[in-house]
């Protein structure tokens, strides 16, 4: 039933008494519930429904591999951002802050995550520019891309990118910037499929995930918690993924 002593302790103790939770509360106090670094530095981020991956968000290391691409995107004059699979609103709210002239459309299936997304947008005072909806299908995507000006599509949909990212059905995608997480554990051929669909219209850049280590911990925070074991600090960076992941950034050629 229990793998080891650590697993036993984690199962019997309330989450607030676990070492990782104690560290989270200390870091939240140090930062004032503001993200410590990364493209959305200083965005307010409250404890995310007590979920175990709160650490990467508040530390600003969540999907850190995407930071160079996100910085480039934040320099573009986007008028519309469609975030499909918005989760708790990390990208929807963050991009609303970084792109003050853009309208943000966020799609998220889970009720609790939509509620948190709305709350986090409100505390960061961007709720008037972020519209939140449930399931995104092809019709929804077509409708929300019927806009003039530069558009960005963010997508993290556990394999539904196979259906949604099809320029033969949604021709507007040929002019959009697209950042998509590839769920190859769902569809092993998804990278080839996306490449074949977009190689004529887009320049495709691959981004590969990598394991986190202590050096990823923000220096400004590390000095305040340096007395704690490094294994716990490194554990806060864990995004609890099923394995190594890949993203594609698709930049329109014209």
> Per-residue pLDDT tens for 160-172?
999 999 999 999 9
| Statement: residue 21 has pLDDT above 60 | yes
Residue among 83, 27, 32, 85 at smallest CA distance from 56: 27
Comparing 132 with 215, which gets the higher pLDDT? 132
- The per-residue pLDDT for 73 is 97
- The per-residue pLDDT for 16 is 60
Residue among 21, 236, 239, 17 at smallest CA distance from 9: 17
* Model confidence, pTM: 0.89
| Statement: residue 153 has pLDDT above 80 | yes
Pairing relationship of beta strands 150-155 and 202-208 according to DSSP bridges: unpaired
Report the pLDDT averaged over residues 123-130: 96
Contacts of 86 (CB under 8 A, 6+ apart): 92, 106, 107, 108, 113, 117, 132, 154
* CB < 8 Å & 24+ apart, contacts of 12-19: 15/50, 19/232
Q: Give the chain's end-to-end CA distance (angstroms, integer).
A: 57
| Statement: residue 252 has pLDDT above 70 | yes
Q: What percent of the chain stands above pLDDT 70?
A: 89
């Amino acid at each position: 039933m229990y793998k080891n002593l650590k697993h036993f302790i984690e199962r019997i103790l309330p989450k607030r008494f676990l070492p990782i939770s104690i560290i989270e509360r200390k870091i939240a106090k140090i930062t004032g519930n503001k993200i410590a670094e990364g493209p959305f530095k200083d965005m307010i981020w409250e404890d995310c429904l007590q979920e175990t991956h709160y650490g990467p968000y508040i530390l600003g290391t969540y999907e850190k591999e995407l930071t160079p691409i996100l910085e480039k995107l934040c320099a573009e004059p986007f008028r519309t951002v469609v975030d499909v699979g918005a989760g708790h609103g990390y990208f929807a709210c963050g991009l609303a802050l970084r792109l003050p002239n853009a309208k943000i459309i966020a799609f998220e299936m889970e009720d609790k995550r939509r509620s948190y997304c709305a709350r986090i947008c409100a505390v960061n005072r961007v709720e008037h520019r972020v519209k939140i909806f449930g399931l995104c299908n092809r019709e929804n995507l077509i409708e929300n891309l019927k806009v003039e000006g530069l558009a960005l599509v963010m997508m993290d949909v556990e394999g539904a990118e196979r259906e949604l990212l099809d320029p033969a059905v949604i021709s507007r995608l040929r002019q959009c910037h697209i950042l998509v997480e590839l769920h190859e554990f769902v569809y092993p051929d998804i990278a080839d499929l996306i490449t074949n669909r977009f190689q004529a219209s887009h320049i495709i850049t691959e981004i590969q995930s990598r394991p986190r280590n202590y050096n990823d911990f923000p220096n400004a925070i590390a000095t305040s918690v340096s007395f704690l074991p490094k294994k716990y600090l490194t554990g806060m960076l864990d995004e609890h993924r099923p394995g190594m992941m890949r993203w594609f950034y698709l930049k329109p050629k014209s």
